[in-house]
Structure 1
Amino acid sequence: MELSGLVHALRAEGPRAGEQPPLRAVPPAEQILPRIGLLVSEGAAPEVVRDLGALVEAAGCRWLFGGLSPATLGELVAALNGYAAPPKQEQDAAGLPREDRAYAAAAERAAEAGSVFLHLLAKLEAAKTQESLGVPVVGPILSRVMGPIYIFAATHIVERPWTNTKSQSVAQEVLALLVQAVGCGSVAEFLRGKDEDEEGRFAAVMGLLKQELTKDTWKRNPATKHVFSWTLLHITRPWLSHYLERVLPPSLLISDDYQEENKILGVHCLHHIILNVPAADLCQFNRAQVVYHALYNHLYSREAPLIQAVLLCLLDLLPILERAQRQQNQGRPTTPCDEVLQLVLTHMEAEHRLALRRVYARALPAFVQRLGILIVRHLKRLERVILGYLEVCDGPEEEARLGILETLQCTIEHAWPRMPCRLPVLLKALLKMIWDVHTDQGPTPELVKAALLQGATKCLILLDRCSEGQVKVLLEGVYSSCEETRVRECIRKVQENT
């Protein structure tokens, strides 16, 4: 019997009020569904999947689930998930990736497969209330199909090259219905469980992803890394520590790729792990050191987005490493924070690309705060960086200069005994910057100029305090000879500060 004929037969034999549908003329599900699954797995035409959706919609719950084993339905769902998957990452003889039309076709297939999943989940929900089926029948089936259905939804729920508006909408509906079918209130609850003692479905999902997250396979399916990272971000403290051995190796693997996009994605995954796994678990088996060395190697990159992600991640990892060193009584003369800052300052000193200068300057104050008084170990190089960055305008938003002014403020506050001997060069650099900002005729907004002048003024006040009023004395002659109102206002604030 053709699928279309089977659909018509099922509809014709539909149940009357208070009756079970007579199914003698219709082949049983355990005969027809495995054949359909085989057709789908072998690359069936879209018409077959559409007819399958109509079949599931028309069939009664007892026909669909009554004599069907969960394994058979699981194989059908897995075949549909494979049918909707984006094309494998293959290259032609010229080394060029597949054309966009292959991804467009994948989006159409995803919408068709998603429609089948919607009908199937609706039938499972309806079957729970039927006396002849109920939870004892539906539960094992749901346990078998929810992993592949979740992976389908996670593959297509976010805008990707292989999705379109329709496929994303269907994926959102499928995920919402799946979460509802298992009795959960959110995707996070679906994955992790309702409380810490309840086992969620994350282990099952990772079990399906495991074979695609190996060194040789993870790049074949372009969706795998996104499904993994999207899923990982839903697991937080304290649940994530239970799965550390499952999520850390793939995160390191993705971050170690040669493509910048993959490196950044891997670093984001590592950052999430650092924030949501207890320090004791991270330090066990030297895991934190492994992550540190992986991140440290990325600091040699020349890509600003990657450097920004790495620096933010390191700032949360360094306290964990330093606490572990103290507990092990390792009397090292320098800390990992010293190592990172030394390399960062080396790169900053010679850096001419504005994007990287901004990233470095934004992160620098946090490193100074972390080291505290120990920043005196890096004062010579830090001073050269501060002087060089104060001198160069970096565009309308002046992010690098603002970051360096904040760095200078933190440095003065923590290493104030070492500042008086550096007063001449710092005072000259700050006054020059104030004059440059005042005379700037470029597109810099007035609010940015005001922030720069306010930051420079605060630095002058801090320098005056740690030098016992020397700045006020040196600025007296400047104030009396300067006729520019804006510059005089900055100097007046320093002189009036007590």
Structure 2
Amino acid sequence: MELSGLVRALRLEGPGDEQPPPAEQVLLQLGLLLSQGPGGAGVLRDLGVLIEAADGHWLFGSRSPAALGKLVAALGELVAALSGHAAPPKQEQDAADLPGEDSAYATAAERAADVGSVFLRLLAKLEEAKAQECLGVPVVGPILGRVMGPIYIFAATHVVERPWTNARSQSVAQELLASLVRAADCGSVAEFLRGKDEDEEGRFAAVMGILKQELTKDTWKCNPATKFVFSWTLPHVTRPWLGRYLERVLPPSLLISDDYREENKILGVRCLHHIILNVPAADLCQFNRAQVVYHALYNHLYSREAPLIQTVLLCLLDLLPILERARRQQKLPRPTTACDEVLQLVLTHMEAEHRLALRRVYAKALPAFVRRLGILIARHLKRLERVILGYLEVCDGPEEEARLGILETLQCTIEHAWPRMPCRLPVLLKALLRMMWDVHTDRGSTPEPVKAALLQGATQCLILLDRCSEGQVKVLLEGVYSSCEENRVRVCLRQVRENA
């Protein structure tokens, strides 16, 4: 359709019969038609034709500052109407999946692909106008400043696989992100959001300004895409840029992590972890923010879901040094630390835990806590010993992740608290030898490399125990070595005799 025919089809009253109406009037009318619902696909086609066929001077040129402001506002309203037209269907707070939701999502995906194509044409037209001497940056700059944020949020909504996307909408969204990056003269999405250098402010503030309206306690679940847009965008902004946005990103991260659904908890904790890693410790300690995050994470330790516990423990391990630094700066007494509190709770849960998935998660995280406490692990030796003995007894599947983690924990414990080990030598030696025999005689599905790793880990523990007990292990193992007929176990015991 030619431009003049499209304008006549809109039934707009221009300033004269031979002149088309102002661009902002046409765009506003198209946005109104789109928001009315019926005929949306036809309006999108007409809008794409209009943008592609229209002359750049008619769209953007020959304008006073006041007229340019009206055009910027009209384009902003049009972009908002387009984004709303292709948005995933709204849902009530905490609503379960409704019948027909898949069909609604499929419709949204098709609309998103069509809307994304219109956005691509608009950005291409703006790029052409930027290169024209009579238009250039003075005209195009304010327009881009108004539309880039909403278009980015639209693209981020559809760029990865979600229930409301399909292959076509994802492809268009990826192309749209690349076009946005080019239009902003940036090299990547991260640069687009944060700026090219530390002194330059990117578009992250504008994006968060738009998301802020939907990231409140009463609204964040109404749009199912909001949390994903936020969590997908946040990792692109890193140190040192993220610190200036701390007040904008910390509240929604805490809000999402505080939900009752596990998937939202994990999403929120991952956002908190990114903030902890990329915001200066001094900023996190200010106004007691780090303590607030700590309490939010600590409460999750009572969960029974292994993926959540794993995410929380990894996050806590990076938060604990920040809390310790704050305590030192405030010159507070430290009978116990946050690391002590976390480890005490973890050991309590480990001692009674029977589910293998959780046992693996706990055991893999335990060595890092021992290293973090150092010699102070001596405070927890009684309970830690019970956990080590209990976990060494139980095979946890082909990969033996729990046993391997516990062996590493025992090695770290011996290295840091070696003066307290000789008195525990009898029970530890017995448990290690029993585990070695169980591994050697296992006829299950455990791969040979895993068995070798278990035997090597136990051997290393015996060597360390012998060193801290002044050779007592070698003396106790003499009778075992002389009576053992299994070559594989004898090789391990020989290593202890030769290396201790």
TM-score, scaled relative to structure 2:
0.94
**Distance in 2 of aligned mates of 1:102 and 1:94:** 15
1:74 paired residue among 76, 85, 93: 76
Q: Does 1:245 align with 2:282?
A: no
Name the residue aligned to 1:37: 31
Instruction: Look up the equivalent residue of 1:29 and give its one-letter code.
Output: A
Note the C-alpha offset of 1:114.
Answer: 0.2
Query: What is the match of residue 397 of structure 2?
Result: 395
Asked if the contact 1:361–1:404 (Cα under 8 Å) also holds between the matched residues in 2, the reply is yes
Structure 2 SS opposite 1:486: helix
Question: Which residue of the partner structure matches residue 263 of structure 2?
Answer: 261
Which among 417, 420, 425 is matched to residue 418 of structure 1? 420
| 8 Å CA contact retained: 2:159, 2:174 | yes
Q: 1:375 aligns with which of 377, 399, 402?
A: 377
Counterpart for residue 60 of structure 1: 55
User: What aligned pairs does 1:298-313 form with structure 2 within 5 A after superposition?
Assistant: 298-313=300-315
Equivalent AA in structure 1 for residue 445 of structure 2: P
Aligned equivalents of 1:244, 1:92: Cα separation in 2: 28
Classify 1:93/1:272 alpha carbon distance in 2 versus 1 (closer, same or farther; 3 Å). closer
**Residues 95, 127 of structure 1: alpha-carbon distance in 2 compared, 3 angstrom cutoff:** closer
Tell me how far apart the structure 2 counterparts of residues 163 and 71 of structure 1 sit (CA, whole Å). Answer: 29
1:177-192 equivalence runs, <5 A: 177-192=179-194
68-77 or 329-338, larger mean C-alpha shift: 68-77
TM-aligned CA deviation for residue 97 of structure 1: 6.6
Is contact 2:320-2:338 (8 Å) kept? yes
Residue-by-residue CA offset, 1:104-139 (whole Å, 9 max, x unaligned):
111101000000000000000001122332211111
Matching of residues 11-22 of structure 1 within 5 Å: none
User: Per the alignment, in what secondary structure is the counterpart of residue 213 of structure 1?
Assistant: coil
C-alpha distance 310-189 of structure 1, shift in aligned 2 (>3 A) = same
CA distance in 1, matches of 2:213, 2:185: 28
Q: Which runs of 5+ in 1 are unaligned?
A: 11-22
Deviation at 1:384, TM superposition (A): 0.4
1:383-438 deviation line (CA, Å, top 9, x unaligned): 00000000000000000000000000000000101111111110010000000000
Q: CA 1:392–1:222 in 2, change beyond 3 Å: closer, same or farther? A: same
> Within the alignment, does 1:233 sit opposite 2:235 as a pair?
yes
Number of the residue aligned with 2:206: 204
C-alpha separation in 2, matches of 1:475 and 1:54: 86
Deviations 1:37-60 (A, max 9, x none): 112223242221122112211212
The residue type equivalent to 1:56 in the other structure is I
CA deviation string 1:55-106 (max 9, x = no partner) = 2112121122235611101110111111111111248998747621111111
Alpha-carbon contact 1:412-1:462 (below 8 Å) kept: yes
Q: Which letter does structure 2 place at the counterpart of 1:131?
A: E
Whether the aligned pair in 2 keeps the contact of 1:90 and 1:97 (CA below 8 Å) is no
Instruction: Name the SS for the 1:394 alignment partner.
Output: coil
- The verdict on how the C-alpha distance between 1:327 and 1:210 changes in structure 2, with shifts beyond 3 A counting, is same
8 Å contact kept, 1:389–1:401: yes
How is 1:292-441 mapped onto 2 (pairs within 5 angstroms)? Answer: 292-441=294-443
Paired residue secondary structure (1:185): coil
The alpha-carbon deviation at position 5 of structure 1 amounts to 6.1
**1:467 is matched with which residue?**
469
Indicate the larger mover: 56-65 or 360-369.
Answer: 56-65
One-letter identity of the residue aligned with 2:49 = A
The separation in 2 between residues aligned to 1:385 and 1:157, in whole angstroms, is: 45
Shift of residue 327 of structure 1? Answer: 1.3
1:422-471 per-residue CA deviation (whole Å, 9 max, x = no partner) reads 11110010000000000111111100000000000000000010111111
SS at match of 2:236: coil
Which residue of structure 1 aligns with residue 91 of structure 2? Answer: 89
Amino acid of the residue matched to residue 28 of structure 2? Answer: P
Structure 2 Cα separation of the partners of residues 270 and 383 of structure 1 = 33
Q: TM-score, normalised by structure 1?
A: 0.94
Give me the whole-angstrom Cα distance separating, in 2, the residues matched to 1:42 and 1:447.
Answer: 65
Q: Distance in 1 between matches of 2:204 and 2:96?
A: 40
Residue in 1 that maps onto 2:14? none
Kept in 2: contact 1:420–1:466 (CA 8 A): yes
Provide, for residues 336-371 of structure 1, a one-character-per-residue CA deviation record: whole Å limited to 9, x for no partner.
000000000000000011010000000000000000
**Cα distance in 1, alignment partners of residues 351 and 294 from structure 2:** 23
Which stretch has the larger CA shift, 334-343 or 161-170?
161-170
Identity %: 83
User: For residue 137 of structure 1, what is the aligned residue in structure 2?
Assistant: 139
1:49 and 2:44 matched: yes
State the shift of 1:485 in Å: 0.7
- Structure 1 SS opposite 2:119: helix
Taking the aligned partners of 1:269 and 1:290, their CA distance within structure 2 comes to 15
Do residues 216 (structure 1) and 211 (structure 2) align? no
1:152 to 151, 154, 165: 154
CA distance in 2, matches of 1:468, 1:361: 29
Structure 2 vs 1, CA of residues 239 and 91 (structure 1 numbering), >3 Å: closer, same or farther? closer
Does structure 2 retain, via aligned residues, the 8 Å contact 1:188–1:234?
yes
Equivalent-residue separation in structure 2 for 1:132 and 1:96 (angstroms): 53
**Which one-letter code corresponds to 1:442 in the other structure?**
G
**Matching residue's letter, 1:341:** L
Return closer, same or farther for 1:90/1:126 CA change in 2, 3 Å cut-off.
Answer: same
Question: 1 CA distance for matches of 2:6 and 2:303?
Answer: 64
CA distance in 1, matches of 2:352, 2:431: 19
Distance 1:82 1:328 in 2: 50
CA contact 2:317–2:368 (8 Å) conserved in 1: yes
2:182, 2:97 → 1: CA distance? 45
Distance across 2 between alignment mates of 1:413 and 1:275: 28
Q: C-alpha deviations, 1:254-298, integer Å up to 9, x for none? A: 000000000000000000000001110000000000000000000
User: Residues 130-164 of structure 1: CA distance to partner in whole angstroms, max 9, x if unpaired?
Assistant: 23322111111111111110000111111111111
The answer to whether the Cα contact below 8 Å between 1:457 and 1:493 also exists between their aligned partners in 2 is yes
